A and B are shown apart, each in its own frame.
Chain A
Amino acid sequence: MASLAPSFGSGAMTNNFNDMKNANVILIAGNNTAECHPLAMRWVLKAQKNGAKIIVVDPRFNRTAKVADIYAPVRPGTDIAYLSAIAKYILDNKLYDETYIRENTNALYKVNPDFKFQDGLFSGFDGEGSYNKDSWTYQLDSDGLPIQADSLDDPDCVLMKLKGHFKDYTFKKASEITGMPVDKMKLVAETFVNNRPGTILYALGMTQKSVGTQGIRMYAIIQLLLGNMGMPGGGINANRGEPNVQGSTDLALMAHILPGYIPIPTDAHPTLNDYINTVGISNGKKLISLLKAWYGDKATPENEYGYHRIPKRDSGISDATYVPIFEKMNQDAYKMGFIFGQNPVVSTPTLDMALAGLSKLELLVVSEAFETETTSFWLHPDFNSKDIQTEVILLPAAVAFEKDGTMTNSSRWIQGKKAVVAPKGESMPDGDMIYEIMKRLKKSYANSNDSKDKAILELTWDYPVLDHGIDIESVLKEMNGYNLKTGKLLNSGSEIQSLKPGESSSGVGGLYTGVITEEGNHSLRRDNDDPSGLGVHPNWTFSWPDNTRVLWNRGSTDKNGKPRDKDRAIVSWNGNRWVGPDVLHIAAKDKAPNTPEGSKVFSNAEGKGALFRGPFTMPQQNIPDVTLKSGYDPNVFKVALISNEGGIGDGPLPAHYEPLESPVKNPMFSQQSNPTAAPVELPEFQKYGKAKDYPYVLTTYMVTEQFLSGGVTRNTPQLNELMPSNFAEISKSLAKKAGVKSGDPVKISTARGDVTVSAMVTDRMQPLKVDGREVEVVGVPWGWGFRGLVQGESVNQVTNSGYEPNTGTPEYKACACNVTKGGK
């Protein structure tokens, strides 16, 4: 979500599954909906039945393509090229929604004259893998606000910068890069542009690339230009993977954030004042509310609300954490580790790196419902378990039906459920395990006077214990937050901003506020009524933020608050107040459309959709002359900036770079691949192959019947019957070259080693014409391993651990490989 947040203000699926029926066109690119999100497909098909056109772009003619109106193939890892051609088509032919981009985007903002882009590099490159972003800024007036051009033809304005930037991406050029035929690409462009509103569906097929963030930025740019944001049937719909991955991201199981997307304090912010000065007023208030939830009465202005109890991140490192953890494991950085509900010995690219890393630990604690390749890595066929000194504790986890709790689906619905059966055997919910371990730590530190141990000793942890474990609803209440003056549950995250710092608590910084109020637990609401017929279902569970179903929906109305499309009137201003089936977002609900608060469409630093995304700081005006006392001074809120956007590490605009391993030289620039990609840390594992040895493109994916790493589904006979073994999908021409037929073993080798699976020779795979020659693509499902009722070699043994520099997501989707007849 590293691209949606800087583009709009927060990153999540913008609309919802039911809303897709309102679309007139759906572009599915980077997501095999029918296969991986089968019940989302229901709503794609309803749209199609209503007359919408379905476009699928994918390297493989997949299950979704089968029912699409248009299918266009693409070489893995090159999406930015064809999307840039679509952007060029929109810009050259002025097919953008002019009113929308004038009012709601930064199209008119004037860009710093020092900003340049030459031969694949933006201005400010340090020659070593990072950028100084000082020239990626706006021209500012004396108040620090962006200067706006009078006309969209002003050569300095963002729109003209875009036009210049994309000018070389003709359909022909983009076709040479992507292998997508020119006429197909034109048809995709025309169909998507001429049928509005249109929505875009993507998933890991877009993000598992070394240019993933910029690929999604293309979606943001196109949807802003077409005026599709905020519209029912529009938006950008990231279909996420695991059942609660939206929730776990919101709750910040990540190194660079705290719950509610509050930026993590770093060593560049020695005091709470410094932190608030850097991240802005709104995030500052959110952090204080979180500290009040975590440290209660022990969080006071005098101790900076317990600010130092949160570990401060090293400001010199990037957000990427997953691959670096395995790198550091191999460099002996850790003595122990926790792995809760995750199977990295199937899912980590360059698997030998994960196996070697885990072998170096003294203790590994794993919580799982089933034995997996990770719990039992010491039984790996390549190991002699005698040599592995890691002690492993496996905690049996209760499963979904056995515990109370909420999960947040991809479209931000916080859905509650109750335990319906007892945990099997002695298995236990993960929450109770965590509770018990912390209880013991509190006890063992009880006599400590060391300041560092206050983080543990004073942590609020007194959850009521019921007959089956801790009271999960009390945790949800802490997350929702309280008005500390009244002791009542908060109703909206906006109260954290309106109350004084320290007067509210919320463990998620207000993001989930409203899910449980004095009225009751809204996650358990099950009224499926949809009075508007627009798929809003306002009383079905609770959708963050504030029960809003379509993000940025203020933009579905014109500047006077009148719906832009009367058939899609999801919010509107009736002269006195905002009404409609959905909750207004992001403008103030009690303010008229022509007021500053009532006209706000996006929540990033500028409040405008970012076609061009450089750093920007929204300053406060009329700052009083005060000297702050050190540490924390409430006056910091009078002087700090309002909000801050740091920009994206690899550029303010997307550009086509080849994957880290590619069969061709970059046809656009002499800069071959993403210039900010991280360097190799473990040369013994992280090897790169050359096109002459590894001429084909390997891509990986999932099948309906085996879920992700297979840790659960490969233990489930009814699913194993449907999908009993792994395979490699290859074209007829490649099968001929390799001398194999369907069912024969094929060896897939990369610079990291080889795996052998059965060949599936199919017309679904076709060689692509790239830069004048044919490029073969090989597809292999990745969720296989050496444990479970059915087993198979993991293709991640040979995938590339090079990753996207902004997010840390490895480039699983485009590796260089060779395919030969297998011997096993």
Chain B
Amino acid sequence: MPKLTRRSFMKFTAASIAAAALADKKRVHAEKDDVDRAFPLMTAGATTAYGLCHFCSVGCGIEVKIKDNKVISTEGHPDHPINEGALCPKGRSMKEMTNSDERVTHPLIRKPGSDKWEPISWEDAFDKIASKVKDVREETFTKTVDIDGEEVRVNRTEGIFSLGSAEIDNEEAYLYTKFNRALGIHNFTHQAEI
């Protein structure tokens, strides 16, 4: 398929979930086709992929079965040197968690004084966040402070704090730090501290 720009991709996902599923077929990194595993009926026609548990920091490997772009089973990965095919109940629940109907699947906004969520588009949500960041940054920026009579450039945004997260991937965590620091945010930490 033709390469999509970021913007058109977002319109595209909103427009057609079916088409998105098609596009995402490419993203299933199948390791082997399943033929004669323990549960032939359930997994017939499923592909097997490699995943990581997303609960504690032991970092167990998971054998993920996928059918029709849906996770249908999560078992301990037999090759992983730490868990050697086993999982604890949380690792096992990765399937149910991923597929859960309780998940938030659309950006939402809660207006001041309101008692409910309302949907908001990604575009509007991003625009709103960016414009508020800019306003608060402009309003609460400290360029210099006086230290023993010397003017020291500090470039701090005072009016925004930022928390999180130990639940996101390394690359995301790196981007998050880079993002926060470039904005001048120094009230910045996450659950590692607590």
B114 and A385 contact, CB distance less than 8 A: yes
Q: Cβ of B158: which chain A residues have Cβ within 8 Å of it?
A: 333
Q: Judge whether B189 and A394 touch: CB under 8 Å.
A: no
- 28 A-B Cβ contacts within 8 A? A42-B83, A243-B57, A253-B189, A308-B155, A311-B157, A333-B158, A335-B160, A336-B160, A340-B165, A369-B103, A386-B113, A394-B108, A396-B103, A397-B104, A399-B97, A400-B52, A403-B169, A420-B49, A422-B24, A425-B105, A426-B122, A431-B175, A438-B182, A440-B127, A444-B134, A705-B89, A717-B96, A719-B90
Query: Do residues B179 and A243 form an inter-chain contact, with CB atoms below 8 A?
Result: no
The answer to whether the Cβ of A95 comes within 8 Å of any Cβ in the partner chain is: no
Q: Is there contact, CB below 8 Å, between A718 and B87?
A: no
| Cβ-based interface call for B6 (8 A) | yes
How many Å from the CB of A341 to the closest CB on chain B?
A: 3
Residues 154-194 of B contacting A (Cβ, < 8 Å): 154-194
A328 at the interface (CB under 8 A from B): yes
Q: Which residues of B contact A807 (CB under 8 A)?
A: 193
A707 and B152 within 8 A (CB): no
Residues of B within 8 A of A530 (CB): 81
The contact size tier of chain B is 35 or more
| Chain A residues whose CB sits within 8 angstroms of the CB of B104 once the complex forms | 368-371, 375, 394, 396-397, 427
* Chain B residues whose CB sits within 8 angstroms of the CB of A528 once the complex forms: 79-81
- Point out the residues of chain A lying under 8 angstroms from B192, CB to CB: 240, 242, 245, 248-249, 253-254
Question: A414 contacts which of B120, B170, B185 (Cβ < 8 Å)?
Answer: B170
B40 within 8 A of A: no
Return the CB mask of B66-92 against A: 1 if under 8 Å, else 0: 100111000000011111101111111
CB contacts (< 8 Å) of A17 on chain B: these are: 58, 82
Knowing A17-B58, A39-B86, A333-B158 are in contact, say whether A386-B172 is a contact too (CB < 8 A). no
Contact yes or no, B98 A808, CB < 8 A: no
For A392, what are the chain B residues with a Cβ–Cβ distance below 8 Å?
109-110
Flag if A393 contacts B128 (CB, 8 Å): yes
Q: How far is the CB of B160 from chain A (nearest CB, A)?
A: 5
Q: Using Cβ atoms and an 8 Å threshold, which residues of chain B touch A535?
A: 81
* Further pairs besides A40-B58, A294-B182: 15, Cβ < 8 Å: A245-B166, A247-B173, A311-B185, A313-B186, A334-B161, A340-B176, A393-B108, A405-B170, A410-B59, A414-B170, A415-B59, A415-B61, A421-B27, A718-B96, A808-B193
Q: Which of B94-126 contact A (CB under 8 A)?
A: 94, 96-100, 102-115, 117, 120, 122, 125-126
A-side contacts of B17, CB under 8 Å: 425
Contacting pair A329 B92 (CB below 8 A): no
Q: In the complex, what residues of A have CB within 8 A of residue B179's CB?
A: 434, 437-438
The distance in angstroms between the C-alpha atoms of A365 and B161, with both chains bound, is 11
**Complex contact B169–A472 (CB within 8 A):** yes
Q: How far is the CB of B157 from chain A (nearest CB, A)?
A: 7
Q: Which of B71, B125, B161 contacts A395 (CB 8 A)?
A: B125
B129 contacts chain A at the CB level, 8 A cutoff: yes
Docked-complex contact B163 and A248, CB < 8 angstroms? no
B107 touching A400, Cβ below 8 Å: no
Given A322-B189, A425-B106, A718-B89, verify A248-B165 contact (CB < 8 Å): yes
In the A-B complex, the 7 residue pairs with the smallest Cβ-Cβ separation, listed nearest first, are: A425-B105, A409-B59, A341-B165, A405-B169, A422-B24, A242-B166, A340-B164
Task: For A430, list chain B residues within 8 Å (CB).
Answer: 165, 168-169, 172, 176
**Chain B residues with CB below 8 A from A390, complex form:** 112
Q: Closest CB-CB distance, A400 to chain B, in whole Å? A: 4
Contacts of A809 in B (CB 8 A): 193-194
Closest CB-CB distance, A660 to chain B, in whole Å? 16
Q: Are B181 and A342 in contact (CB under 8 A)?
A: no
A253 touches B176 (CB 8 A): yes
Which partner residue on chain A sits nearest B187 by CB separation?
Answer: A325
The chain A residue with its CB closest to the CB of B50 is: A417
Known A421-B70, A530-B81; judge A337-B161 contact (CB<8 A). yes
- Which residues of A from 425 to 450 have beta carbons under 8 Å from B? 425-431, 433-438, 440-441, 444-445
Does B89 contact A243, Cβ atoms closer than 8 Å? no
Contact with B along A367-384 (1 / 0, CB 8 A): 111110001101100000
A751 to chain B, nearest CB (A): 20
Contacts of A419 on B, CB cut-off 8 Å?
A: 24, 27, 29
Q: How many Å lie between the Cα of A106 and that of B177 in the bound state? A: 36
Q: Is there contact, CB below 8 Å, between B112 and A389?
A: yes
Residue of A nearest to B65 (CB): A420
Please name all residues of chain A whose beta carbon is closer than 8 Å to the beta carbon of B105 when the two chains form the complex: 396, 424-427
Nearest chain A CB to B138 CB, angstrom units: 9
- Would you call A69 an interface residue if the criterion is a C-beta within 8 Å of the partner chain's C-beta atoms? no
Total A residues in contact with B, Cβ cutoff 8 Å: 164
Complex alpha-carbon distance, A708 and B166, angstroms: 12
Residues in B with CB closer than 8 Å to A37 are 56-58
- Distance between B47 CB and nearest chain A CB, rounded to angstroms: 9
| Docked CA distance A530–B80 (Å) | 12
Tell me the bound Cα distance from A387 to B96 in angstroms.
36
Contact present for B126 and A240 (CB under 8 Å): no
Among A18, A417, A713, the most chain B Cβ lie within 10 Å of the Cβ of A417
- Interface hit among A112-120, A452-460, A648-656: A452-460
Inter-chain contacts of A434 with B (CB < 8 A): 172, 175-176, 179
B residues neighboring A (CB under 8 Å): 1, 3-6, 9, 13-14, 17, 20-21, 23-24, 26-29, 49-61, 64, 66, 69-71, 79-84, 86-94, 96-100, 102-115, 117, 120, 122, 125-134, 136, 139-141, 143, 145, 147, 150, 152-194
- Distance to closest chain B CB from A213 (angstroms): 12
Q: What's the dominant secondary structure at chain B's contact region?
A: mixed
Min CB–CB distance B194 → chain A (angstroms): 5
Measured in the bound complex, the distance between the Cα atoms of B56 and A625 in whole Å is 54
A258-B181, A391-B109, A468-B9 known; A243 vs B174 contact (CB < 8 Å)? no
User: How would residues 35 to 46 of chain A score, 1 for a CB under 8 Å from any chain B CB and 0 otherwise?
Assistant: 011111011000
Q: How far is the CA of A253 from the CA of B89 in the complex (A)?
A: 29
Question: Closest residue to A429 on the B side, CB-wise?
Answer: B172
How many Å lie between the Cα of A240 and that of B181 in the bound state?
Answer: 25
Q: A245-B192, A421-B24, A456-B182 are in contact. Are A36 and B56 (CB under 8 A)?
A: yes
Q: CB-CB < 8 A to A405: which residues of B?
A: 169-172
- Asked if A270 is at the interface (CB within 8 A of a chain B CB), the reply is yes
Chain A hits for B120, CB < 8 A? 393
Say yes or no: is A347 at the interface (Cβ < 8 Å to chain B).
yes
- In the assembled complex, the CB of A584 is this many whole angstroms from the nearest CB of chain B, namely 21
Task: Let me know if A407 is at the binding interface, CB within 8 A.
Answer: yes
Task: Please report the C-alpha to C-alpha distance between residue A435 and residue B10 in the assembled complex, in whole angstroms.
Answer: 13
Known contacts A245-B191, A254-B190; decide if A540 and B81 are in contact (CB<8 Å). Answer: yes
A393 contacts B58, C-beta separation under 8 Å: no
| Contact A334 to B187, CB < 8 A, known contacts A241-B56, A417-B52, A426-B14 | yes
Give the residue name and chain of the B residue nearest to A324 (CB).
B187
Q: What chain A residues lie within 8 Å of B98 (beta carbons)?
A: 399-402, 421, 424
Q: How far is the CB of A445 from chain B (nearest CB, A)?
A: 7
Report yes or no: A393 in contact with B129, Cβ–Cβ below 8 A: yes
B29–A420 touching, CB < 8 Å: yes
Chain B residues positioned under 8 Å from A387 (CB to CB): 113
Closest to B160 in A: A336
Q: Which parts of A308-357 form the interface with B (CB within 8 Å)?
A: 308-314, 320-322, 325, 328-329, 333-342, 344, 347-348
Q: Does A239 contact B (CB under 8 A)?
A: yes
A267 touches B154 (CB 8 A): yes
B113–A389 contact, CB under 8 A?
A: yes
Asked if A252 lies at the interface with its beta carbon under 8 angstroms from chain B, I say yes
Say whether B166 contacts A248, CB under 8 Å: yes
Contact of B54 among A243, A348, A472 (CB under 8 A): A243
Kindly list chain B residues whose C-beta atoms are within 8 Å of the C-beta of A251.
170, 173-174, 176-177
